Structure 1
Amino acid sequence: MIRSLLSLTATALLLSACAQTPLRGTGDLGVVVERATGSLQIIESDTRTALARVEGLGDLSHASVVFSRDQRYAYVFGRDGGLSKVDLLTAHIDRRIIQGGNSIGGAISQDGKLIAVSNYEPGGVKVFDAQTLAQVADIPATPLPDGKKRSRVVGLVDAPGQRFVFSLFDTGEIWTADFSQGHTPRIERFTAIGQQPYDALITPDGRYYMAGLFGEDGMAQLDLWHPEHGVKRVLGQYGRGEARLPVYKMPHLEGWALADQQAFVPAVGHHQVLVMDASNWQQRDAIAVAGQPVFVTARPDGRQLWVNFAYPDNDRVQVIDTQTHAIVADLRPGPAVLHMEFTARGDQLWLSARDGAEVQVWDPYRLERLGSLPALSPSGIFFSSRAHKPGY
């Protein structure tokens, strides 16, 4: 009888706990970076609602986010060198460290066990255990001529084979770091790849790593299937002899698009989206747009591109048909549109209007606004479905 009463009591307590904290999956969750307040909003796309706010994440003025394989944890890379592990289910900071002085992004390894952070200060890449955030590797970048500092690191992505790939802005290099044999990486360096690689992308199959160049025209491409062939130049003649416009905001190559055997990338210092043939990486077209593009984001089915712009055209978003290269919509969502993110199946497009203090949700097929959520100076929007996309 006592055993039965104890069993009934335990069952009642369990049912009570379940009633107070309903079970929730993580596949429909995401985060909105609130850059001015160092906070994240945890959002749910199905209900178009904000579930919670997590504060105390430091300087998020250029923050980026990756997710654990189970989509429960968001790893937040802050500009102040902070690396934070946020639990999406409990809405609290699981762990947080200051790993550098000025960081510019990060990546999670193919097996989900390592977190890499690229740093301006100190120049290089640091790698951490994804569970504990204990440091497991330090990869210093090439020293600068003054001997006091090292090159800034940009364009860090994960690649197949338990590798990270990144670019060195000041010294014009691309490095690969292979962690397949343990925590002591095998480093391969490619030098003289072009002046000032400022950002990079990796193709969805993980084969090609491409770094945009700010100091000269073109992009540097590394074939990760055949690294022995070295780095080659693509779009090498683009813009030669033309006067560039002042660059108000650097385009983000991780916001590039690959659709219908074409690669669409934002041009630096031009009001254009460049189109390359994805089979040979030769330029096919240049689409005139309203301003200097920042993100060129493809709808998951590949039929549309959504493009936002640097100041003074950052209140606009243009939609491009990937087959005809025609602009099919010219939208004015609000002041300072900073970022756009599709849900995994493409039924929604979320965008942040920083100076409008809101995040908007759009139907990308009907080109209709579905609703909005208030947010504090919102910038980046990241859905947990990124956990299963290489290079994100």
Structure 2
Amino acid sequence: MTYHIPLLTLLIFSQSISADLLGTGDLGVIIEREPAAIQIINTTSKSSISRITDLGDLSHASVVFSRDARYAFIFGRDGGLTKIDLLQDRIAKRIIQAGNSIGGAISQDGTLIAVSNYTPGGVKIFTTETLELVADIPALYGDNQLSKVVGLVDALGQKFIFSLFDAGEIWIADLKDPAQAKIQKFKAVGKQPYDALLSPDGRYYIAGLFGDRGLALLDLWSPEQGVKRILPDYAKQDEKLPVYKMPHLEGWAVAGNLMFIPAIGQHEVLVIDQSTWQLIKRIPVIGQPVFVMARPDGRQVWVNYAFPDNAHLQIIDVKTLSLIKSLNPGKAVLHSGSRYFCESLFWASQPKQAAKT
């Protein structure tokens, strides 16, 4: 049997397919904090493609992407976990998995999503396909207390690493078998680890300490050596200033063998030599740094700040370890990206309150 389809219909159909074709690597997401929405953008044309609303509390939202870059997973402050289909411009799945969340990570093979929670304290693991809960890891310490969880990252071998703020501990969760997660605990790493990062080569997990001097360093190639303290004497004699916004350690910059980190409560960016873990320079800046981001080629480092200096950006030259430019793009500069240096501006009538959220 032969079917005849009008030529005009075929042309319209083929044109619609062509217009919709888009590489997922070209897509990005912009978080709209106050409207509880996101925009899906084309990073090549620098244009907005669509807008998705009703995403809950995005006051401390973060995003990770699936391995094929088709899906974005949005972690909301209200415990919401939302899977966004970037090609179909829609919510594929949304759940409320806790009362207060702070971020998440996706596993090495892309099959698992982990969420770090403040309330109730712990980590929950979901499948990326359906957002079905496959593991629940309460952050228990002391007399059956629950700790806030921070600094969650994914590591090689289907592992997640995170810090317990209230307990002063670092845990490694092995999820090769999600039904029987294996937990390795490192206790007494320092007071109040508030955030952490994984070095670009995946070897070192470094947690910042809000209640102690220095940083907690875990060598994942030799975890049996335990956690050691680096920079224990930094700023011992310096005056402690009010901290309006905690630095974000996932925003630490690594350029060559140098690591640039924001100093807590100080108007400085610290430069550390990764080969020795020694402080080699303190760079004075205009305010308390929040994000310190390296340009993709590692030649420059861009810095933004907490209130009351959060209208400023400054650029550090990595070769000379000195400030080379100061910018003033607008009120409440918040976050930064890497492929393009993208800053979100939060226009608030009360910037002091905004800076503390």
2:252 match: 256
Per the TM alignment, residue 262 of structure 1 is displaced from its structure 2 partner at its CA by: 0.5
Per the TM alignment, residue 181 of structure 1 is displaced from its structure 2 partner at its CA by: 3.8
Q: Is the 8 A contact 1:144 1:151 kept in 2?
A: no
Which secondary structure does the structure 2 equivalent of 1:3 belong to? coil
Choose from 52, 55, 60 the match for 2:53: 55
Q: How many Å separate the matches in 2 of 1:339 and 1:214?
A: 21
Which secondary structure does the structure 1 equivalent of 2:140 belong to? coil
Q: How many Å separate the matches in 2 of 1:218 and 1:100?
A: 32
1:279-358 correspondence to structure 2 within 5 Å: 279-343=275-339, 348-355=340-347
1:95-114 correspondence to structure 2 within 5 Å: 95-114=93-112
1:32-71 correspondence to structure 2 within 5 Å: 32-71=30-69
Which secondary structure does the structure 1 equivalent of 2:25 belong to? coil
Q: Is the 8 A contact 2:62 2:76 kept in 1?
A: yes
Q: CA-to-partner distance for each residue in 1:271-307, whole Å, 9 max, x for gaps?
A: 0001110112111111100000000000010000000
2:151 matched to 1:177?
no
2:90 match: 92
2:264 matched to 1:268?
yes
Structure 2 gaps of 5+ residues are none
2:161 matched to 1:161?
no
Q: How many Å separate the matches in 2 of 1:141 and 1:156?
A: 13
Per the TM alignment, residue 180 of structure 1 is displaced from its structure 2 partner at its CA by: 2.2
Q: Is the 8 A contact 2:216 2:228 kept in 1?
A: yes
TM-score normalised by L of structure 1: 0.86
Per the TM alignment, residue 179 of structure 1 is displaced from its structure 2 partner at its CA by: 1.3
Per the TM alignment, residue 143 of structure 1 is displaced from its structure 2 partner at its CA by: 3.8
Q: How many Å separate the matches in 2 of 1:338 and 1:219?
A: 24
Q: Is the 8 A contact 1:60 1:78 kept in 2?
A: yes
Q: Is the 8 A contact 1:202 1:210 kept in 2?
A: yes
1:199 match: 195
2:207 matched to 1:211?
yes
Q: How many Å separate the matches in 1 of 2:142 and 2:317?
A: 44
Per the TM alignment, residue 242 of structure 1 is displaced from its structure 2 partner at its CA by: 2.2
Q: How many Å separate the matches in 1 of 2:8 and 2:45?
A: 35
Which secondary structure does the structure 2 equivalent of 1:337 belong to? coil
In the superposition, relative to structure 1, how do residues 169 and 23 fare at CA in structure 2: closer, same or farther (>3 Å)? same
Per the TM alignment, residue 210 of structure 1 is displaced from its structure 2 partner at its CA by: 0.3
2:148 match: 152
In the superposition, relative to structure 1, how do residues 329 and 164 fare at CA in structure 2: closer, same or farther (>3 Å)? same
Per the TM alignment, residue 349 of structure 1 is displaced from its structure 2 partner at its CA by: 1.9
Per the TM alignment, residue 183 of structure 1 is displaced from its structure 2 partner at its CA by: 3.5
Which secondary structure does the structure 2 equivalent of 1:27 belong to? helix
Letter in 1 for 2:102: I
Q: How many Å separate the matches in 2 of 1:311 and 1:80?
A: 24
Q: Is the 8 A contact 1:260 1:323 kept in 2?
A: no
Q: CA-to-partner distance for each residue in 1:312-366, whole Å, 9 max, x for gaps?
A: 00000000001111111000011110011121xxxx3211111189xxxxxxxxx
Which secondary structure does the structure 2 equivalent of 1:354 belong to? coil
Percentage of matched positions with identical amino acids: 57
In the superposition, relative to structure 1, how do residues 205 and 121 fare at CA in structure 2: closer, same or farther (>3 Å)? same
Which secondary structure does the structure 2 equivalent of 1:170 belong to? coil
Q: CA-to-partner distance for each residue in 1:238-260, whole Å, 9 max, x for gaps?
A: 11132210000000000001113
Per the TM alignment, residue 17 of structure 1 is displaced from its structure 2 partner at its CA by: 4.4
2:4 match: 5
Which secondary structure does the structure 1 equivalent of 2:180 belong to? coil
Letter in 2 for 1:268: I
Q: How many Å separate the matches in 2 of 1:248 and 1:211?
A: 20
Aligned CA RMSD, in angstroms, stands at 1.9
Q: How many Å separate the matches in 1 of 2:323 and 2:14?
A: 55
Q: Which runs of 4+ in 1 moved over 4 A?
A: 6-14
Q: CA-to-partner distance for each residue in 1:1-54, whole Å, 9 max, x for gaps?
A: x424269799567426425x5211110111111111111011112111111111
Which secondary structure does the structure 1 equivalent of 2:261 belong to? strand
Kindly tell me the number of residue pairs found equivalent between the two proteins.
350
Letter in 2 for 1:22: D
Letter in 2 for 1:126: K
Choose from 218, 227, 234 the match for 1:222: 218
Q: How many Å separate the matches in 2 of 1:25 and 1:317?
A: 32
Q: Is the 8 A contact 2:135 2:178 kept in 1?
A: no
